[in-house]
Structure 1
Amino acid sequence: MSERDEVVAGRYRLVELVGRGASGVVWRARDERLGRVVAVKFLGAADSPDAVERIVREGRVAARLRHPHAVTVHDVVEHGGKPCLVMEYLPSRTLAEMVDERGPLPAELVAGVGWQVASALAAAHAAGIVHRDVTTFNVLLSEDGTAKIVDFGVARAIGEGTVTDARLVVGTPAFLAPEVAAGEEAVFASDVYSLGATLYAALEGHPPVGSTDNPYALLRRVSEGQVAPLRFPGPLGEVLLRVLRRDPAQRPTMAETHALLDAVVEGRPLPGDPPVEDARPVDEARPVGATLPLDDAPTVALPTAGAGSPPRRAPWRKAALVAGAAVLVATGVVIGVALGAEEPADLARPAPTGTTTTAATAAATTTTTTPVVVSDCTARLEVANSWPGGYQAQVVVRNAGERDLTHWTVSWPQPADHVISNLWNGTLTSRAGSVTVTNAAHNAELPVAGSTAFGFTANGPGTPTPDLTCTSGG
């Protein structure tokens, strides 16, 4: 049994036990060679040769993936003759813990988390990696809004030999795809289903197949495609109906799923017309398969932002992560961004962009007066994550003036060999040698001392430290 202050592989000093599960225990540790905090995962069944081989494979497979929304594996080391993983340390809670404490989560939050996780899984699929265990237990949520998928411990790269006994079902039963529960090999489409089951559980408060203490009954429900009727009548519910189809060939790919979630959070129509069977009212629509009564599922009301139907557009929303303390900002980012703790309480108000009144401006505001451009805002760029040939950055914009602002613009010089591939919470304009970002509709207005943020991913060598210029309208 590992203990506090024990040194692993001559460099990783164990500091605190932070997690325990079926696959093993995780310690927060300090890399004394690089002076950084890491997580060290010890395999629970390390005495089994198959388990030892599995964790080695986990490290090899997971280390191939570098993505802002997948927990990074730094190293695979041996300790006491047994291998263990050294991973990125992310102070966080699991999606399962949030659902246990809060019940069904707001649709905006769920869609934003799914958007981020789908981007990482799409990258994994592009690299030939099937996760095989996408569940609420393996989605980590940090206090600043970042969602990351973790534990590729049962993942297997396409083309590698499996070391798992074919008689065993790999994965968490309630989140398995029907074909996997029936004994077939997991494929990319299986991850799509499991992500849908994960988001369903977060939205509804229970997995698609309900809950039972009988694992055999659970596997039967899953393999037969039994899915409880959705109680959420919005666009996210339609996406879940598409990804939870029993037939793997009828599900969207992970990249297509990501595009669907992108449309949800942006309030756009979903790509592609839903099939006839999915176009029925939500309380009648079913994925292919039998209907599951909700007798054994928790009956809890969905939290809403107010009376009436949810807004068509899914703006950034706040939800308490820890009662009375931390916040989780949910968004539909293509690659995701972690907002700083400086975020204001209201980021969802529409506002104009630019310095002249347009038809869109008139529809979004109560005045048609051309705003006066002033220089009373500040902007700070921080690199949140990096990988070979690219990086993820966020820019915090703060109202440093003495009156509320109605819009803002940030610009900076951009090296020719740095290309922004995705940007969220703003509108990007690129010119030779420079970049300009104007606010999005939902984060345009800033109260005095208030702040917001936008983020982007970019391709290019190294990481930038540009001088930013911020102008704003009052």
Structure 2
Amino acid sequence: MFAELSLPGYEVIDVLGRGGFAVVHRARQTTIDREVAIKVDGRVVLDERDQRRFLREVRAAGRLSGHPHVVEIYDAGVLPDGRPYLVMELCPNGSLRGPMPVADVVRTGAQIADALVAAHDLGVLHRDIKPGNILRKRYGTPALADFGLAALVDPGRDSSVTLAALTPAYAPPEAFRHEAPTPRSDVYSLAATLYALLSGRPPRFPGDRQPSLPEIVRYHDEPIPDLPGVPPEVTAVLRRGMASDPAQRHPDAAALRADLNRLMDLGMPASVSANLTTMPVPQVHSGQSTTQKPARSKLIAALAIGVAAVLVLAGVWILVNHDNTAGTPVAGGPSPNIAQTPDATTTYGVQTTTDGCPAASVAGAHARCTQRAECWSGMVVIQGEVTSIRRIDCSTEHVYETFAIAEVPATLAEDYMDVLEADSSVKAVCSQKTLMASRFGDAVQYKDWTLEVLPPTPDDRTAGRRIYRCLGTPTGHTVSGSAFRPRK
């Protein structure tokens, strides 16, 4: 039974729908007389760490605002009884249902894949793509809904709860082995969704009953059948996206989008295989049926290999290293000729300085500032460890910027995000006080900031660096250039 909803600033009109975990209300936002949808999840989130994780992911998803194929999030929070909620754009035309014409499915797939490219680049995984989560906006445009609630599905929690939160017919096989999700998991779910929109039912699954977990595991080793009237080239693209072995899928959503766009551009003739990057995927896979959950350190090590391939996102932000010299020195900033000891550069992996660096005043923290601005994309955080983040040019659009860098306290045996966030020394370095004192140039005008503690990146771990960074981003604004240090 779902509790009644009372949310300040909103007048609840009626219930649009109910599901296994949530109820969606139609409501009016009273201040601007706008109809919205309020989705209240039935899973109670009382733990402060989980609430922070939920709100962190919702904030990241909120940066997708304006993408034509994402349902916009207007607000989010946690009710007094611990239930999380999202206030979203109202899509009165409902969700997609199959069977649909081939051309419409291919076009929709390319549009939703484009939304995933943007989301993954911000460090946001969806984790529950299915026909019911692709809605038609007011003017008929398809859009992906429910970003943010994915944070409630945590592979580190009780496995029965996690599996219950999945939509089994569209979840990738690794989810049933309790492996942490990756961008390739979203690729699988989108391909399975497109197959269902073509056929009217999901691939492999029986239409008359809910299979057991052992049956689901067996289904994922079965061939994906052809569809009458669907060009084999289309089925080949979807088969690759649904490969049981993640390594055999499209490496990222951009690659799936590219294949779908090629099908549209070529008009889906009888034979276009030579022009596609997709090749048919073998249907017999072995070594993928274990249900033993690896330890966190082993799991993250395995994820690092998969995520490395996922980071090749075509036509998105340009990857640059710390030696990028784009931009011009800004008056008042530290000189780029400040002496830098080889030991410090080895420790931190970038040139650092204590000159004009508020973080350096924290006693015993061994904190410094980067000598030049260091900007970042969004991040994917799984079980407290960052599995994907990219350093990008500060002159282009970016999510975060470093305002402090420090050695992980020697007292900490682990350096996961949640462990660092709880340490008193890290709190002193990555504090609002330090962030506000570190603002640079035009960023001084912004008063409301969000900060994050970035544990050692995959590159840091590879190089044996045990450091963390303090990252900041202005809430509701985008800084043009750099916020804390000169770019050069």
- What is the identity percentage for the equivalent residue pairs of Structure 1 and Structure 2? 34
What is the CA-CA distance between 1:46 and the residue it aligns to? 3.1
Tell me what 1:13 maps to. Answer: 11
Q: In the aligned structure 1, how far is the partner of 2:150 from the partner of 2:219?
A: 20
What is the CA-CA distance between 1:141 and the residue it aligns to? 2.3
Tell me what 1:209 maps to. Answer: 204
Equivalent residue in structure 2 for 1:110, among 105, 108, 118:
105
Q: Decide whether aligned partners of structure 1 residues 200 and 85 sit closer, same or farther in structure 2, where only a CA change above 3 A counts.
A: same
Alignment of 1:294-305 (within 5 A): none
Give me the CA root mean square deviation.
3.2
One-letter amino acid matched to 2:71: V
Tell me what 1:181 maps to. Answer: 176
Q: In the aligned structure 1, how far is the partner of 2:24 from the partner of 2:132?
A: 14
Tell me what 1:36 maps to. Answer: 34
Alignment of 1:273-284 (within 5 A): 273-275=277-279, 277=280
- Residue ranges of structure 1 left out of the alignment (5+ in a row): 279-285, 291-333, 335-460, 462-474
Secondary structure in structure 2 of the residue aligned to 1:140: strand
What is the CA-CA distance between 1:78 and the residue it aligns to? 4.6
Q: In the aligned structure 2, how far is the partner of 1:163 from the partner of 1:60?
A: 22
Secondary structure in structure 2 of the residue aligned to 1:199: helix
What is the CA-CA distance between 1:107 and the residue it aligns to? 0.5
Tell me what 2:253 maps to. Answer: 254
What is the CA-CA distance between 1:52 and the residue it aligns to? 6.2
Q: In the aligned structure 2, how far is the partner of 1:47 from the partner of 1:128?
A: 22
Q: Decide whether aligned partners of structure 1 residues 60 and 243 sit closer, same or farther in structure 2, where only a CA change above 3 A counts.
A: same
Cα deviation code 1:223-279 (max 9, x no counterpart)? 43553344323432221122122221121120011111112222265654543x55x
Tell me what 2:93 maps to. Answer: 92
Tell me what 1:27 maps to. Answer: 25
Q: In the aligned structure 2, how far is the partner of 1:77 from the partner of 1:227?
A: 41
Q: Which has the higher contact order (CA 8 A, sep 6+)?
A: 1
Alignment of 1:139-178 (within 5 A): 139-142=134-137, 144-156=139-151, 164-166=157-159, 168-169=162-163, 170-178=165-173
Cα deviation code 1:424-472 (max 9, x no counterpart)? xxxxxxxxxxxxxxxxxxxxxxxxxxxxxxxxxxxxx9xxxxxxxxxxx
Residues 176 and 190 in structure 1, CA contact (< 8 A), matched pair in contact too = yes
Residues 174 and 222 in structure 1, CA contact (< 8 A), matched pair in contact too = no
Q: Decide whether aligned partners of structure 1 residues 287 and 138 sit closer, same or farther in structure 2, where only a CA change above 3 A counts.
A: farther
Tell me what 1:244 maps to. Answer: 242
Q: Decide whether aligned partners of structure 1 residues 274 and 77 sit closer, same or farther in structure 2, where only a CA change above 3 A counts.
A: closer
What is the CA-CA distance between 1:62 and the residue it aligns to? 2.6
Cα deviation code 1:108-163 (max 9, x no counterpart)? 11112112111111111111111111111211124633111111355349xx9866
Residues 110 and 257 in structure 2, CA contact (< 8 A), matched pair in contact too = yes
Secondary structure in structure 2 of the residue aligned to 1:13: strand
Q: Decide whether aligned partners of structure 1 residues 28 and 152 sit closer, same or farther in structure 2, where only a CA change above 3 A counts.
A: same
What is the CA-CA distance between 1:213 and the residue it aligns to? 2.4
Q: Decide whether aligned partners of structure 1 residues 163 and 247 sit closer, same or farther in structure 2, where only a CA change above 3 A counts.
A: closer
Q: In the aligned structure 2, how far is the partner of 1:79 from the partner of 1:161?
A: 20
Tell me what 2:263 maps to. Answer: 264
What is the CA-CA distance between 1:7 and the residue it aligns to? 5.1
Cα deviation code 1:353-395 (max 9, x no counterpart)? xxxxxxxxxxxxxxxxxxxxxxxxxxxxxxxxxxxxxxxxxxx
Q: In the aligned structure 2, how far is the partner of 1:23 from the partner of 1:34?
A: 30
Q: In the aligned structure 1, how far is the partner of 2:118 from the partner of 2:222?
A: 27
Q: Decide whether aligned partners of structure 1 residues 7 and 45 sit closer, same or farther in structure 2, where only a CA change above 3 A counts.
A: closer
Q: In the aligned structure 1, how far is the partner of 2:157 from the partner of 2:72?
A: 24
Tell me what 2:233 maps to. Answer: 235
Q: Which structure 1 residue ranges, 4+ long, deviate > 6 Å from structure 2?
A: 50-54, 160-163
Residues 112 and 143 in structure 2, CA contact (< 8 A), matched pair in contact too = yes
One-letter amino acid matched to 2:73: V
Tell me what 1:331 maps to. Answer: none
Residues 176 and 222 in structure 1, CA contact (< 8 A), matched pair in contact too = no
Residues 178 and 225 in structure 1, CA contact (< 8 A), matched pair in contact too = no
Q: Decide whether aligned partners of structure 1 residues 54 and 93 sit closer, same or farther in structure 2, where only a CA change above 3 A counts.
A: farther
Secondary structure in structure 1 of the residue aligned to 2:94: strand
Secondary structure in structure 1 of the residue aligned to 2:68: coil
Residues 132 and 154 in structure 1, CA contact (< 8 A), matched pair in contact too = no
Q: In the aligned structure 2, how far is the partner of 1:54 from the partner of 1:43?
A: 15
Residues 61 and 156 in structure 1, CA contact (< 8 A), matched pair in contact too = no
- Residue ranges of structure 2 left out of the alignment (5+ in a row): 287-314, 316-477, 479-488
Secondary structure in structure 2 of the residue aligned to 1:94: coil
What is the CA-CA distance between 1:92 and the residue it aligns to? 2.2
Tell me what 1:73 maps to. Answer: 73
Cα deviation code 1:67-115 (max 9, x no counterpart)? 22111111124544444221111112222xx23xxxx221011112112
Tell me what 1:63 maps to. Answer: 62
One-letter amino acid matched to 1:28: R
Q: Decide whether aligned partners of structure 1 residues 198 and 56 sit closer, same or farther in structure 2, where only a CA change above 3 A counts.
A: same
Q: In the aligned structure 2, how far is the partner of 1:236 from the partner of 1:206?
A: 17
Q: Which moves more between the two structures, 219-228 or 65-74? A: 219-228
What is the CA-CA distance between 1:200 and the residue it aligns to? 0.4
Residues 92 and 140 in structure 1, CA contact (< 8 A), matched pair in contact too = yes
Residues 28 and 40 in structure 1, CA contact (< 8 A), matched pair in contact too = yes
Q: In the aligned structure 1, how far is the partner of 2:33 from the partner of 2:241?
A: 43
